[in-house]
Amino acid sequence: MIAAVLGRVRGGTVRGLRWWMISLIMLGAVVNYLTRSSLAVAAPTLLTELNITTQEYAYITAAFQGAIMLQPLCGYVLDVIGLKYGFAIFATAWSLICMAHGMATNWQTLAILRGLLGLAEGSANPAGMKAVSEWFPAKERGLAGGVFNIGASFGSMLAPPLVVWAILHYNWQSAFVITGALGLVWVCAWLLLYDAPKRHRRLSKDEAEYIAAGQEDHLAGDGSKPSIVSILRKRNFWGIALPRFLADPAWGTLAFWVPLYLTTVRGFELKDIAMFAWLPFLAADLGCMFGPVVVLALQKRGVRLINARRGAFTLGAIMMMGVAFVGYVDNAYAAIALLSLAGFAHQTLSVTVITMSSDLFRRNEVATVAGMCGTFGNLGLLIFSLLIGTLLASVGYTPFFVSLAVLDLIAAVLLWTLVREPVPEPAQPLSIQKT
């Protein structure tokens, strides 16, 4: 449906295949975030049945975040062997690992499985950015990145009702089996329908020319393998990696800790979690599209692409200030509203900075760069999650909500300070030989 609508908006069926491709990879992101969010929703039940403490739960989430920091490895594999088969391998792995969660009997087993899951699921963001860089001209990459990132929000939004339904009708183990099985179904669809633009048999000549004409020549890949050392030496890498380090803890807090917060602090029961815990992720879906719309609006007013993306990020950071008041409101529904604002604001800025990897780096480097930036984002999330697990009993949740607002404002300052627009290399003059 999304692909059909966007196809008509952007020029009809002649130029619509790229939107079908990004919709397909968005569904992969839905499954990816559904499986990774299942533990958080099942946590109130699972922790009770397996006698797992809050500190041990922090170790379990840390295992996931530690392993997902290997995103550069995933991105490198995708850049080297190709998106179609590389992503299928990773998706098959995370689906089977998710299903294996149902066999866990203690926190140590869960931590090992979460670590393996993080390694495989770290492929999602590099895969999405690689698809965006290959299939879309520059002016559409922000919107395409927003469509892809809807998968993250929608998968997290789908987890509360689906997982709670499985627990209430069967048991907590069945929740992981069901979500993992959905991943295997998606892999079959992916292998059947996806291919790179150069090899896709259904890509029309008109659309292929439209895509190629809208991509920057200075970002065209030369077919060589990406150099991690070379990437690390570039200022623009740190300009998007450090803001992600500071901003990504917000998403981890929403995904991993909010269900426990609503249960222990706000007194929600499991059915209440199913009714309300998905709302921040619905708001996040809207944020995925709001960020690109802001960028397009700024560009129409003469703002250059990179500055437009920085402007959208800054707007998201300002809106994130609302999360600082979650712990101060007495009404639980007001807290849900502020958490929903945080989801909207975070995805507004997140989709913007994630997309910048395809604006600043060559197409044969995009997946690797996205993976490396993801490592920094997940490192920030890991540190933040461990701090919550360690200090929660003594300081509560409120200081962490306040710090999320401050971290995003600092991230906006770094984005404006460090990132530089790439300058196209001048064309080499033709040499004329005298005869």
| Residue pLDDT, tens place only, 306-350 | 999 999 999 999 999 999 999 999 999 999 999 999 999 998 998
Instruction: Using the predicted structure, report yes or no on whether residue 200 has a pLDDT greater than 90.
Output: no
Q: How far is CA 225 from the centre of its chain?
A: 24
Q: What is the overall mean pLDDT for the chain?
A: 84
Q: Is the pLDDT confidence value at 11 over 50?
A: no
Of the chain, the percentage scoring pLDDT greater than 90 comes to 33
Give the Cβ contact number of residue 108 at 10 Å.
13
The alpha carbon dihedral of 374, 181, 34, 1 has a sign of positive
Asked if 415 contacts 353 with a C-beta cutoff of 8 angstroms, the reply is yes
Name the residue with higher pLDDT: 10 or 105.
105
For residue 7, what pLDDT band results from cuts at 50, 70 and 90? Answer: very low
Per-residue DSSP letters for 247-297? Answer: HTHHHHIIIIIHHHHHHHTS---HHHHHHHTTHHHHHHHHHHHHHHHHHHH
CA distance 114 to 120: 10
For range 193-204, the mean pLDDT: 85
SS3 content of the chain, % helix, strand, coil (to 5): 80, 0, 20
Cβ contact 133:21 at 8 Å: no
Question: Phi then psi for 53, rounded to 5 degrees?
Answer: -85, 170
Q: What pLDDT is attached to residue 418?
A: 94
- Render pLDDT for 223-247 as a digit per residue (tens, 0 to 9): 566 677 888 889 999 999 999 999 9
Alpha helices by DSSP H, 138-196:
138-169, 172-193
**What whole-number distance in Å separates Cα of residue 384 and Cα of residue 87?**
29
DSSP letter assigned to residue 396:
-
Q: Which of 177, 195, 172 is nearest to 87 (CA)?
A: 195
Residue 214 pLDDT level (bands cut at 50, 70, 90): low
Structure tokens at 206: 């008109």
Q: What pLDDT is attached to residue 208?
A: 81
Give the Cα separation of 220 and 194 in Å (integer): 22
Task: Indicate if the pLDDT at residue 1 is higher than 50.
Answer: no
**Mean per-residue pLDDT, 107-114:** 92
Give the length of the chain. 435
Report the b/e string of 388-407 with b at 16+ CB within 10 A. bbeebeeeebeebbbbbbeb
Mean pLDDT of 201-205: 84
Question: Any idea which residue has 């507004």 for tokens?
Answer: 348
